[in-house]
Amino acid sequence: MSFACPRTCVVAGLAALVSALPGCEREARRFDPVPIAPDARSRADALTSFAAGPPGRGMTERAAAGGYDERNAYVLAQGKRYYRWFNCTGCHAQGGGGSGPPLMDAGWIYGKTPGDVFTTIMDGRPNGMPAFRGRIPEEQAWQIAAYVRSLSGLVPDDAAPNRDDSLLGAPPENLREPARPEDKR
């Protein structure tokens, strides 16, 4: 068989390469801590799609500056790792709750924007959520906040973690649609 049609092959190869590029974003791993950018406002514009209400205390800008990125699979996987390491599962289980409220349902007592969840983790809340400021570094807290949002299906499916090796409690995060109030019963 002779290997003809070089031009077609080149075109096909380029097409495959171009279509694979978006996957880089999902897989990119940034290990250097993100410095606070001076022009945070311009990056904030890209993140307004999920803000349900007013961001609160400039948290959208803070989210951008802190490098919040819920489209990155590594960020969500690390968030899942730290969610278990720092004993979040003890009160919130795999999102179903326990002595703490559920995180996988549509009810958010203190808000579901990344900034709200970050504030909940860092500053605690009045009815028993401990404050982790000064303990969990900010970058890791953003990762955990992203993972917490994935528990109720608020992050892109291709970035959300899938079935882990533990006892299966709730469906894998990448199979969860954005939660609705009628889902939990």
Partner 1 sequence: MSDALDAAGPQAAWIARLWWISLWLCVAVFIGVMGALCWALWRSHRTAAAGGDAPARKDRALRILVGCATLLSSVLLVGLLEVSVLTDRALARLPGKDAVAIHVIAHQWWWEMVYQDPRADHVFSTANELVIPVGRPVVVTLEADDVIHSFWVPNLHGKKDLIPGRTSTIAFRADRPGRFVGRCAEFCGVQHAFMAYDVVAMPPDGYAAWVQHERSAAPEPQAAAAMRGRELFLTGSCMLCHAVQGTSAQGRRGPDLTHFASRAHIGAGSVANTPEALARWIEDPQKLKPGANMPSHFLPPADLAALVAYLETLT
Partner 2 sequence: MSTHVQVMRYVRRLIAGVFLPATAAMAASGAGDWPTAAHDDAGTRFSPLAQITTANVATLRLSWSFSTSTDKGEEAAPIVADGTMFVVTSFPHRVLAFDLASPEHRLRWSFDPRPDPGARGVACCDVVNRGAAYADGRLFFCTLDDQVLALDARTGKELWRRKLGDYATGQSMTMAPLVVRDKVLVGNDGDAFGVRGFIAALDAATGQERWRAYSTGPDADVRIGSAFKPFYASDRGTDLGVATWPPEAWKIGGGSVGGWLSYDAQLDLLYHGTGSPAPGNPVQRPGANKWTSALFARHPDAGDAAWAYQTSPHDRHGYDGSNESVLVDLPIGGQPRHVLLHPDRNGYLYVIDRATGEVLSADAYALVTTAHGVDPATGAMRSEPSKEPAIDRVVREICPGSAGAKNWQPSAWSPRTRLLYLPHQNLCEDATAFEVSHIGGTPYIGMEAKMHAPPGAWRGVLTAWDPVGRRKAWTLEEPFPIWSGALATAGDLVFYGTMDGWFKAVDARTGRALWKFRTASGIVGQPIAFSGGDGHEYVAVLAGVGGWAGLVVSNDLDTRDGTAARGFVAAMKDLPAATSRGGMLYVFRLP
- Scan residues 6-45 and list those touching partner 1 (CB under 8 A): 29, 31-33
| Coil vs helix vs strand at 129 | strand
Binding partner at 29 among partner 2, partner 1, none, C-beta below 5 to 8 Å by kind:
partner 1
Number of amino acids touching partner 2 (CB under 8 A):
36
CA dihedral (84, 136, 50, 73) in degrees, to 10, reads -50
Q: Is 131 in the site for partner 1 (CB under 8 A)?
A: no
Give the x/- contact pattern for partner 2 in 144-173, rule: CB under 8 A: ---------------------xxxxxxx--
- Scan residues 51-90 and list those touching partner 2 (CB under 8 A): 84-87, 89-90
Select 132 or 176, whichever has its Cβ closest to partner 1.
132
Q: Which residues are within 8 A (CB) of 27 and not within 5 positions of it... i.e. 6 or more apart?
A: 72, 73, 74
Q: Is 130 in the site for partner 1 (CB under 8 A)?
A: no
In angstroms, what CA-CA distances link 76 with 9, 56, 144?
37, 23, 7
> With contact defined as beta carbons under 8 Å apart, do 103 and 93 qualify?
no
Helix (H) / strand (E) element for 140: namely: helix 138-151
Smallest distance, partner 2 to C-beta of residue 135, A: 8
Q: Which residues pair with 129 in a beta bridge?
A: 125
Q: Which range touches partner 1 (CB under 8 A), out of 19-27, 37-45, 60-68, 130-138?
A: 130-138
Q: Is 137 in the site for partner 1 (CB under 8 A)?
A: yes
As a whole number of angstroms, the distance between CA 61 and CA 21 comes to 27
Neighbours of 177 (CB within 10 A): 10
Applying CB under 8 A, which residues contact partner 2?
A: 84-87, 89-91, 93-102, 104-105, 107, 126-130, 135, 165-171, 183-185
Give residues in contact with partner 1 (CB under 8 A). Answer: 29, 31-33, 78, 81, 85-86, 134-137, 139-140, 165
